[in-house]
Amino acid sequence: MRRAAFAGPYRIVIMKTNPLIVALDVDTLEESKKLVQSLGDSVDIYKIGSQLFTAYGPQAVRDVTAQGKKVFLDLKFHDIPNTVANAVTSATGLGVFMMTVHTIGGQEMMEAAVKAAQAKAVAMKIVRPLIVGVTVLTSAPQEESTQEKVLARANLAYRSGLDGVVASAHEVAVLRREIGKDFVIVTPGIRPAGEDKGDQKRTATPADAMADGSSFLVVGRPIVKASVPRDAAAAILKEIKGMSV
């Protein structure tokens, strides 16, 4: 059994990190900056996905890190191993905290991603970013085979040396039970009680996802579209921690 890539001191850092990740699914850098500023110290990590990165590229990452925040770069790299390795090298060079590859790219591709990230981190004398594998999108409907697919892809990610996976709250408990505590589980599709699910099919409340074993929760519209984003984030953190914030 391989040793978890983030064991020891790195695991302690993760355990102490605010688990809330806010998705910067906005149209402009100005909107991104304002949202980060408005959320202040209530949020430490921001997800940058295809929408913002396609429009502004690496500058979107630099703007967030310049404000002292961590970036979860969610571009779901999926290509031949060499191409993914090069992309991961570039992402590592940007100083991101975590990034995604797609597990359907296969073991060779995922292994190349980890090796590339490690080499670049050593060269830059920085901590290697976490690499997590996307299993099944939370927008996909729940089917009999969904849990089986997620578990199979997560096990492949584990064997390939990834630090964890992205999976819906519906699969968190079984992943935690089957793969163990030393594996990052990033859970999107988080909706506070009473919130509209939007285009997400497999959702859960923050408290339920954390109770089942999620490491990080990705929240977008319930915070981004809220009239007062900081209050919305505070309510979610209160639910996660079970105490006032």
Residues designated as active site? 76
Closest by CA position to 166, among listed 50, 76, 240, 106 = 76
CB 57 within 8 A of CB 90: no
| Amino acid in position 40 | G
Query: CA nearest 118: which of 127, 110, 106?
Result: 127
Q: What are phi and psi of 183, to 5 degrees?
A: -155, 125
